[in-house]
Structure 1
């Protein structure tokens, strides 16, 4: 395993090596699951109304340009928070590189526990959000700040998936790669929000279908985190990363 880790970390200076090829899809899927979770999806009309300054009943008739700009500013707000956190985890991972093998297994166990938490199979002891008594101004001017508040608040359903992605960011062991990984998470979470803004009435029907299958969404997210945790704990993650690094060596671009 030591030789394997040395081979992996030795190629850690490329933008898209085996680690990110494996971790980015996991992060994007984590973002999608977070968006469709019961803590976020039902609130989408309210967020859109707030960030555009348009009443909920009038969202379907609002100008697309305003809806697009408001949703983009909101997504950029929470992305700034999440990406900064990912960079922090990646930077700390670089400092603690010598303990990487042990910490990877610790985070693997935590990821498994978070998966069980996400599925509702263990008691939720830390599910409270941070609350702010002041609200940003409604409309486009307050949209980025509302996104920041949303990101800092960490709703209960987002916490487990985002924490799992941050554990992977730690595993990347550089601030830049950690930021890139959490940016992928933000893409998975933010893109559906933007699409909802552009086609509000059409997406209402699709969202109603998802709402009827919340249990399935939570199971998919939980199973994904548990499998990722098992890969980290058993060391299979590093083996897959090494194989992908070898395979993708000819397609990487040096930093």
Structure 2
């Protein structure tokens, strides 16, 4: 636990360098132009207390008192905008004070900015004013999330907060608070001790007041997220640095303990291929291939197949699942290999091992078989028995088997298609078949740079990406179900974005917004029509292509607005 706390503190400490916090720093600086020496402490405490409290408790509060969490964001916008307005129009403070003084003589202590410098009253109101500003900022701040913060958010959203995660959160916000307090203090001292600025204090306050109002408008319109995305696009190295910092094995193990979950099967690492081969022309013998076990149904085959009856053929076992984007990118190659070599004694068996419950549905698998033009046999391994027989851990995974039933080559993940086909040719030649030197001419779509990894919206899977759920959501182990008026936001770096969706009906309405604008023909995926997701009538539970940037991967903010209830 000590190691995790150290890294949580370090992660918070470097947050001041993160593009995600930069849009808020002008407000922090603006607030320090008035209010005395205690105001930086008030701002800092307000931000970290507000952020920690609502991150850990908002899902519980909404459960007890049903309300739209967006109201908290709206409240923060109003507070920030009002504070900015009082800097632009100082008389506004006096007017408001006069209106409420009949109710509370103390109200002036909360809002007045013009008490005599150095007075006890000025210190008190400076701290209280800073606390209010910081409280509002904590409500709207969404830090760049690495594995540690993602775990905090996930456990909070699924109402599984425990003492360990509370301690990690406290240590994280302490790390955030230290550089933030230093920044605010330096700003406060600069404005209070720089004599050359004294004649222009009124103008400076008005300029910063305008900045606060513009920031409030940006938050209200969600344009602050667009600014964050553009900053991340300009400095992508920060996200990679944060991920590497928090992804060491000690931190991973302790995060797993906090989650209370065993390690789940994983998608194959992006561009990381585990290939057991020798540099010679002869492939090594990796042992006998296990028999198919626990297959529920055989598709594209009139009878169950066995490894025994496939002796004498070259067999490629391909573990896949139809919503796995990594798997989908490999299918064009696998199907072409099958068509090219099936008359030479080459057989492909697709072992469909489901990642989600709905993927066990045979009709859904049949729909995917048709969609991706799969003509080779597919085995439904719904109980993971064949998966476990092969001791497999990845989607996709390939096992190449010779005529004697021995595994001669394995490959996990995308890429290396030419090498895989050459190994198929090698085994065919060993079996006495004549094959040419040409390989399948298809474009390798494996990502060549670090992309946003798969992000799971259910409670039982690890979340590496940063996303926000707005409104009321029913978060279950494998999915999150929307309510009318809810929304999902995620910052991503990729060329294409896919989402597994199960609509309640074919009439569900989900609007797709990219960087604050409804998607159009230049950036919409194939499953989008007029800015909305077009759900399949035949197979509604599917992987939907939402964004297609035409081969130009970059940082963007994706927002999905759910206009109907029950979309999973």
Q: Normalized against structure 2, the TM-score is what?
A: 0.23
Larger relative contact order (C-alpha < 8 A, sep ≥ 6)? 1
Q: Normalized against structure 1, the TM-score is what?
A: 0.47
Structure with higher strand content: 2
Structure with higher helix content: 1
